[in-house]
Structure 1
Amino acid sequence: GFWKKFSEYREQATVYYKQRFIILLKGKAPNDYYVWSSYPLLNHAEEIHIRIAVLEEYESDFNDDGKPDLIEINVTFPIEERDKIFGVFYMFLFDYQLDERSRFSMETAILDDLDHAAESSSVTVSGDLWLDQAAPLWSSGRDPDHGGALINESNLDLAQYNPTTILLRNSFRNFTTTLKRKSIAWMPKRADNNNFVLHLSLRIVEQQLLYRTGLLELLKWAWIQYFACFIIIHYFVNKLRQFLFENHLLSTIIVRPNHLNELQR
């Protein structure tokens, strides 16, 4: 119709790692797992399952525009020969910002729950960081925070750290981030390997974003469409009128000025 309520534009988000994470290595049995996180409450509660890991993070800005184009996170867990790793749950929190139209900022998570049939010594996950929208962005101004913090550190309820709870709570948000063109590669366990390594590689690319048009843009598009329709209709009406009169398809009465004066006397 005339009223274009939504439109699209392209922007690359500004994304930074917040140094907040939860990683759970899964063994064969339900109670056979190891945990390491940035949350002291969770680490204390899972003391017998804690396995302290080394986390390294790298950011790359290939075009020098001040925005990271690639974020890489490597997490190395020391494991023993008897440890058998068949899966991993991970959650990393990021600060996600857009500013080309509305000023949009939120805490977002990259998280997944992966399983593998064979024992593994590492898993590499890579993909394009992608904003998944259940609602349009604002056209301008400050877009309010959506969803707040995924983990409330002032809350002492341990249930919020449960992987199923985290996945469910994240799915209820209007704005989430996922990995597009995602690839997952597992490496089998070797006898001489005493580590399990999680590699995460995020490419931050420009993407198409949906937003709600503002009043001026709404009126502009309505006027453009109205004017275009008016020109087309006006052209065809003139052509039709010219055709009808030139081919004498309609009866016409020609009134000359002198004859009109005589009739008025």
Structure 2
Amino acid sequence: MAALEGRAGLCSLAAAALLLLAALTYLPPLLLAYRSHGFWLKRSSYAEQPSVRFRHEVLLAGLTAGGASLGWSSFSACNRLLGPRLRAPLVSAREEDTNQDGVMDRLHFQLELPLQSTEQILGVQLLLTFDYQLQRMSTFVMQSMAFLQTFSPVPGSRVFVNGDLRLRQRQPLGHCGLDSRYNVSVINGSSPFAWDYDLVNIVAAYQERNVTTFLSDSSPIWVVGRAPSDPFVIQATIHYPVDLIVYQPGFWEMIKFAWIQYVCILLIFLWICERIKTFLFQNQVLTTIPVLPVSSILSHKEHQS
């Protein structure tokens, strides 16, 4: 025999119970997902190897044993300001794409600084600039820099540097569009003023950005024992590795993330609610009007005819 179905009026206790069960089924999962402190995806991240190219812009400052400073830059205005402290070096730079994927992987940089026979180098500060671009999510373009400084109590003949050009973020990037707010020169090479070539001022202005690059894990190796006629040599290998990029998710990504969390909890509540309804109506805890199923009514009419 077919099971009887129940029917109740809109103002009945059974209808109120069904409404309460529906509220207790769909609202608690939403509250639980929200209170778990991860309902809305505010930040996300992905891995990308940036497209980096060396701009061949260099700013060098050297400290001698006598306390004097020497220098050189790729900017003629800065070199004029150096006057007798200028030392014109021999510079070579070569970028490599080791895996032939169209994205450069490292920079080999060498600078040979000529010195007078009485000059000894105790420390160097080197600034290199780059074109930096990300394009997997938003297209982010900027001019960035790598800054190296190393000092020793013993005069040196050369210094070796091997590090990674890494991204530092104070705020996430966008998930789409073009972001070129920092696509401006790190060094104002057209300025005639010494203030614009001071490393303290350049680094301070650069650190005001919310997105910068820095030289990571460089671990300079200082080598002593220079002959009076030999130049001081800086050899640097700078890698452009895959980096972790933090970005602000878009609307649909936030909705997808929230929906997955909500549905996972909702399935449990739906299972519990179905068991409660079955118990209430099968045991007549709530009063309803019995109604024969349509299949039973048709069978009864056929039997009468």
TM-score by length of structure 1 reads 0.88
Which amino acid is 2:257 matched to? W
Note if contact 2:139-2:178 (Cα within 8 Å) is conserved in structure 1. Answer: yes
Identity of aligned residues (%): 28
In the other structure, the counterpart of 1:162 is 198
1:115-150 Cα shifts (integer Å, max 9, x gaps) = 111100111111111001111111011113226222
What is the letter of the counterpart of residue 213 of structure 1?
P
Name 1:252's counterpart in structure 2: 285
2:114–2:230 CA contact under 8 A, matched in 1: yes
The letter for the 1-side match of 2:98 is: F
Displacement, 1:242? 7.7
The alpha carbon displacement at 1:214 in A equals 1.0
Equivalent position of 1:263 in the other structure: none
Match of 1:206 in 2: 242
1:27 to 2:61 alignment: no
Query: What is residue 47 of structure 1 aligned with on the other side?
Result: 83
Cα distance in 2 between the residues matched to 1:16 and 1:133: 20
Highest Rg: 1 or 2?
2
What is the match of residue 45 of structure 2? 8
In structure 1, what is the equivalent of residue 264 of structure 2?
228
> How far apart, in 2, do the equivalents of 1:202 and 1:65 lie?
18
Tell me the equivalent position of 2:129.
93
Find the aligned partners of 2:73 and 2:165 in 1 and give their Cα distance.
22
1:80–1:194 contact (8 Å) kept in structure 2: no
Q: Which residue of 1 aligns with 2:34?
A: none
- Residues 1:229 and 1:82: Cα distance change in structure 2 (over 3 Å): same
Map of 1:149 onto structure 2: 185
How many angstroms apart in 2 are the aligned matches of 1:257 and 1:119? 101
CA gap of 1:127–1:232, structure 2 versus 1, over 3 A, is farther
1:196 pairs with one of 229, 232, 248: 232
Contact 1:147 1:173 in 2 (8 A): no
Structure 2 residues without counterparts, runs of 5 or longer: 1-37, 292-305
Q: CA deviation at 1:33?
A: 1.8
Shift of 1:98: 0.7
Alpha-carbon distance between aligned partners in 1 of 2:198 and 2:289, rounded to the nearest angstrom: 94
CA distance 1:48–1:228, shift in 2 (3 Å): same
TM-fit CA distance, 1:237: 3.9
Residue in 2 that maps onto 1:185: 221
Residues 121 and 193 of structure 1 are in contact (CA less than 8 Å); yes or no, is this contact kept in structure 2? no
Partner Cα separation in structure 1 for residue 98 and residue 226 of structure 2: 35
Aligned to 2:33: none
SS in 2 for 1:234: helix
Q: Distance in 2 between matches of 1:192 and 1:151?
A: 33
Q: 2:176 aligned with 1:130, yes or no?
A: no
Q: Give a deviation string over 1:180-203, Cα, whole Å, max 9, x none.
A: 222210000333661101111111
* Pairing 1:58–2:91 present: no
CA positional deviation for 1:40: 0.8
Q: Residue type matched to 2:54 in 1?
A: Y
The aligned counterpart of 2:251 is: 215
Q: CA deviation at 1:35?
A: 0.9
Contact 2:116 2:228 in 1 (8 A): no
Displacement of 1:163: 1.4
Specify which structure has the higher proportion of helix: 2
**Count of residue pairs the alignment pairs up:** 253
Determine if contact 2:160/2:221 at 8 Å carries over to the other structure: yes
- Computed over aligned residues only, the root mean square deviation of the Cα atoms, in angstroms, reads 2.2
Q: TM-score, normalised by structure 2?
A: 0.77
In structure 1, C-alpha distance between the alignment counterparts of 2:228 and 2:66, rounded to whole Å: 24
- Residue 202 to residue 236, structure 1, CA distance change in 2 (3 Å): farther
